[in-house]
Structure 1
């Protein structure tokens, strides 16, 4: 990785502000905010420090609860200041969870690393996340027994590459890691087991998400043809989510490239007419693939529901493939618009729509909050939120925060209990000191 990466790793191990959280039980700050005389809100840093300390615990269940709490907090509010202070420790503890944790811990740690990258936005920290995470993630992806874990790892890899991958080679490397899961090259260390439908869907979605960043992609023609052929084969699968993911991938491939690019430069030598003939045959082959895809898309856009078929899923498939059909036949990409706090977030290309859907799925209920406050996402979608006008320094506790504080088993509730106990002890010490001084007088 070179001198820069080595220096970065050394600095990461020596975060001066991180060492406190390792050796102590989160020194609580004195500031407490009281709302309506009933709601006691812990200082955010105290809560987050408690979660961070819990990541050092031996019990996996404790670490899992801490990760779940961190995800809730980072999902519901931007935590720029805390990340500025504790970035290295947050990243490396999560990487330890990916290396040694249970399937659930790996899934939670992967999701949090994605949130960490979204919080930092593009820049040196996002690059460090990608550099430090790529090897642990690729190792964890080799064991494919748990679909939810693999899906979380793939989403994480997609997010951190989307944000931290500044060179096309970095993105191509991540996409190749994904591709190998569903299209492994046979060898002594490659599993011959076929991936499940949920894993295929996750791989195709993550791969397609990264393809949206590859403007003027220079993938060789053979790879283009392999991709189109493979995704075409997925359109015949029984699983509807696989078909939809493959359909969107094909739509994006045809949006990013063109038939001449797919055919590429014929690799002949000598007579130029031979080169032209080879390129012409490739072009005919690609046109044949495109026609096949179009016929498949037409059929899926009008598919009748089978026994036990969920109507909502069927409608989603029909709508998606009608859009793909219109694009392949007439060149019209679907246009969408959603309101966020009174402002419109619009998409006009397959690439923008795929990015929007992927990030909405990743952030879940936190998507709107992030779009209102996350400058990186605002730049991605050219979205300008309405400016909020605050009167005073009042802080409103969100529903998520309330649930976290009230849960008797949550790390956050334990943090509050420890904080209150410590405050009582300090108060008692002050009283003892006062009365002792009075007696001496």
Structure 2
């Protein structure tokens, strides 16, 4: 399972950087008035497009930081749309790159901007600000800097979470933010307990709802309860043994009632929480005994084989898959190991605690999860991966994407038939290079001069009379020449002959 977190550590980046006083803006930062007149910063959406994998490869660190400074300034803009776009741009940057030093110097400015957006912004802006707060703490790790961010934002987040009139999506985002930041930075165990109590006040309302058959179910409030239960389960994984025992006594006999909930997502989260609770209980006591085991097993078995016609097929398929694993975990103490690949490394998810932690951070980091598993010292410490692996030039070269695979992603207007040629070659190269044999590639003009007919034979693969209606545009001719160039070693036709279409 993930390594137990040591509160208040100060060693390495995983525990945060050294504490020092930082001015809200450096000398290089431009004022809001100046930035509003710079055409380069007039459209925040343009930064969102720039901050991605291409920035890592092409833009210099100075260029990236210059753009991010513009984002930070734009979080104070009068326009709500501009502020939200700036927040999203910062989120994209923190997801795709490690920017520890940059945000360390500007953490107070960022925290003030986030707090202002959460307090005064509308739903979408509040959600974006809460997501950015999570990413700040993920980048800074479990040090004093992240703890300062948490102590500043926690009262605001709890106020919104407890506000029944607030937007449901905003409350869900605040629940996730509060839980993630607490998981990362809380040194005071009392604050951890208070956060869990705040979440319990939300999801325990579902216990009463299940007992009250006359109650009116609200989909929106149910989603709020699901988020609270999911986040509460994450925090339970870092509680001391004594607190875990208290929570087991308090919730283990109540959680099975949520398995009868009408919402499939609540049933799934409740089932996974039960599996995790049983795992923790058996770690503390190998002979752990649950009194109502027979009834619980019957309920789980019925959900694992549910064929209710009144439920959507997608929901039933998802539910059956999850509850087969839950049933196996509770009855047989078994767990289906999952493998996560990132770069040259692999991580094995071999318990419910590790699975809960992984998918929580994956929800926050999205497509950047693999990159952070490779480079983020805090996450590597959580999952016990050790220091980041340093790759030499030779290793990086072997990991480089082949030329023909890069060509497949060119933004050209390509017909399905031409794509078929490229991906057929890719498939055979990856499976067995020696069996690759293009017996014949024939391009014949049809009676309609604006269309082609393709006949492709690759070993035993034969596709004939494939009329794709490709127009004779310069882009298509250029692409066909590229295909011919790539395959000229395997096709006994020179590129120019391929372009001889009999026009």
- TM above 0.5, one fold? yes
2:181 corresponds to 1:160: yes
Do the aligned partners of residues 249 and 128 (structure 1) sit closer, same or farther apart at CA in structure 2, a change above 3 Å counting?
Answer: same
Q: What is residue 267 of structure 1 aligned with on the other side?
A: none
Larger Rg: 2
Q: What is residue 87 of structure 1 aligned with on the other side?
A: 107
Give the deviation of 1:356 after TM superposition: 0.8
Q: SS in structure 2 opposite 1:141?
A: helix
Equivalent residue in structure 1 for 2:203, among 182, 201, 204: 182
Q: Is the 8 A contact 1:228 1:289 kept in 2?
A: no
Q: Distance in 2 between matches of 1:235 and 1:289?
A: 14
Q: Is the 8 A contact 1:94 1:109 kept in 2?
A: yes
Q: Distance in 2 between matches of 1:379 and 1:9?
A: 21
Q: SS in structure 2 opposite 1:235?
A: helix
Alignment of 1:11-22 (within 5 A): 14-15=23-24, 17=26, 20-22=29-31
Equivalent residue in structure 2 for 1:50, among 70, 92, 97: 70
1:64-93 per-residue CA deviation (whole Å, 9 max, x = no partner) reads 111011111111111112112211101111
Q: SS in structure 2 opposite 1:229?
A: coil
Q: Is the 8 A contact 2:137 2:181 kept in 1?
A: yes
Do the aligned partners of residues 305 and 366 (structure 1) sit closer, same or farther apart at CA in structure 2, a change above 3 Å counting?
Answer: farther
5+ unaligned residues in a row in structure 2: which ranges? Answer: 1-17, 39-53, 207-215, 395-399, 401-503
Q: What is residue 292 of structure 1 aligned with on the other side?
A: 295
Q: What is residue 257 of structure 2 aligned with on the other side?
A: 233
Equivalent residue in structure 2 for 1:210, among 210, 218, 235: 235
Q: SS in structure 1 opposite 2:106?
A: helix
Q: Is the 8 A contact 1:298 1:321 kept in 2?
A: yes
Q: Distance in 1 between matches of 2:342 and 2:20?
A: 42
Q: What is residue 331 of structure 1 aligned with on the other side?
A: 333
Q: Distance in 2 between matches of 1:10 and 1:339?
A: 37
Q: SS in structure 2 opposite 1:344?
A: strand
Q: Is the 8 A contact 1:51 1:69 kept in 2?
A: yes
Q: Is the 8 A contact 1:341 1:386 kept in 2?
A: no
Q: Is the 8 A contact 1:25 1:53 kept in 2?
A: no
Q: Distance in 1 between matches of 2:249 and 2:27?
A: 49
Q: What is residue 5 of structure 1 aligned with on the other side?
A: none
Q: Distance in 1 between matches of 2:25 and 2:284?
A: 55
Give the deviation of 1:157 after TM superposition: 1.0
Give the deviation of 1:60 after TM superposition: 1.2
Q: Distance in 2 between matches of 1:338 and 1:9?
A: 34
Q: What is residue 188 of structure 1 aligned with on the other side?
A: none
Q: What is residue 117 of structure 1 aligned with on the other side?
A: 137
Q: Distance in 1 between matches of 2:28 and 2:156?
A: 24
1:134-176 per-residue CA deviation (whole Å, 9 max, x = no partner) reads 1010011123453322221111111101110124322221111
Q: What is residue 221 of structure 2 aligned with on the other side?
A: 196
Q: Distance in 2 between matches of 1:182 and 1:19?
A: 47
Q: What is residue 340 of structure 1 aligned with on the other side?
A: 342
Q: SS in structure 1 opposite 2:162?
A: coil
Q: Is the 8 A contact 2:259 2:270 kept in 1?
A: yes
Do the aligned partners of residues 310 and 149 (structure 1) sit closer, same or farther apart at CA in structure 2, a change above 3 Å counting?
Answer: farther
Q: SS in structure 1 opposite 2:336?
A: coil
Question: Greater share of helix residues, 1 or 2?
Answer: 1
Equivalent residue in structure 2 for 1:242, among 248, 252, 266: 266
Q: What is residue 151 of structure 1 aligned with on the other side?
A: 172
Equivalent residue in structure 2 for 1:104, among 116, 119, 124: 124
- Count of aligned residue pairs for this structure pair: 345
Q: RCO (CA 8 Å, sep 6+): is it higher in 1 or 2?
A: 1
Q: Is the 8 A contact 1:22 1:53 kept in 2?
A: yes
TM-score, normalised by the number of residues in structure 1:
0.70
1:197-229 per-residue CA deviation (whole Å, 9 max, x = no partner) reads 2112111111111111124142564x5343123
Alignment of 1:273-422 (within 5 A): 287-304=290-307, 306-307=309-310, 309-311=312-314, 313-383=315-385, 386-389=389-392
Do the aligned partners of residues 94 and 260 (structure 1) sit closer, same or farther apart at CA in structure 2, a change above 3 Å counting?
Answer: closer
2:163 corresponds to 1:138: no
TM-score, normalised by the number of residues in structure 2:
0.62
Q: Is the 8 A contact 2:111 2:133 kept in 1?
A: yes
RMSD between superposed Cα atoms in Å: 3.4
Q: Distance in 1 between matches of 2:143 and 2:373?
A: 19
